[in-house]
Amino acid sequence: MYLGEMPEALQVKLSEELTALIQGVLGAWQGAMPRLVYLTDAGHHQTTYYQEVLSQMENPRRAKERLGWLWIVDYYHAAGYVSRLAKVLFAQEKTQQAWARRMRKVLKEQDRGVLRVLASAAQYYWKKTATKAHQKEYWEAYNYLLKHSKDMHYSQYQKAGLPIGSGVTEAGCKVVFTLRFKQSGMQWGLEGGEVILRLRLAVLSQVWDEVYRAYLLHRPLVPLATPLPSSSPAEEKAA
């Protein structure tokens, strides 16, 4: 299912649409409740949405019982922070790449992988004299991985058959907007773009027929240009 909004502050409408979609799906769900996974990076909007909406969402079948969500921080986003550590720890590019490649494998495949990465990084960091710029870069990357380590059990997620990368979701921006709105010579205002966006979302989400039927049902009846011929008195008598 694809969702999208024209540019807006704080993603308010988009968040409301996502919440309504989740509640609608779970409210109509038949059988055992599915496993609920929230797979994103840990940016401001994603974190706020999880804390204020998802973690507070109630089970539609059991009043006052909150749904249990598993938040997985996107592996490839986390791997980017491993590469940032490598650039601080080693001067030679080949050494940076070798350590980062090895640590990304540890992060992805070993139990408590993120803590193993941090332990290795700390060993190298305390052996060198870093500039203030390097210190800032190191601690930003280190603290990000440490803070979200509870959501980075990638080896366990893979064993359970769960996804660890949000690339498909993030590619939605290209599928929805770039391929349709950014062709040669195109310019869009908010009003015109909104019309095209609604139609494109219906097509991509494969709900065009349902949307079109709902549209027709809500259209007012149009009076006929030529009224139907009325019955003559003789015809009425015969009837």
| Residue carrying the six token digits 């974190």 | 47
> What's residue 228's pLDDT?
65
What residues have CB less than 8 Å from 109, skipping those under 6 apart?
Answer: 154, 155
Q: What is the pLDDT of residue 235?
A: 55
The whole-number pLDDT of residue 170 equals 83
Greater pLDDT, 233 or 189: 189
> What's the whole-number mean pLDDT along residues 41-70?
93
Residue 63 has pLDDT above 90, yes or no: no
Least confident stretch, 89-98, 197-206, 219-228? 219-228
Q: Which residue type does 71 have?
A: W
- Here the contacts of 86-91 (C-beta below 8 Å, separation 24 or greater) are 87/137, 88/125, 88/130, 88/134, 88/137, 88/138, 88/141, 89/121, 89/124, 89/125, 89/128, 89/138, 90/124
User: How far is CA 152 from each of CA 15, 56, 78, 83, 143, rounded to the nearest angstrom?
Assistant: 24, 22, 8, 16, 14
Q: Could you give the 3-state DSSP secondary structure of residue 39?
A: strand
pLDDT in tens, 167-185: 888 899 999 999 999 999 9
pTM here?
Answer: 0.83
User: Nearest Cα to 9, choosing from 45, 35, 39?
Assistant: 45
Stretch 117-129: mean pLDDT: 96
- Residue located via tokens 């062709």: 183
Top pLDDT among 168 and 231 is at 168
Which range is most confident: 51-65, 75-89, 216-230?
75-89
Binned at pLDDT 50, 70 and 90, residue 222 comes out as: confident
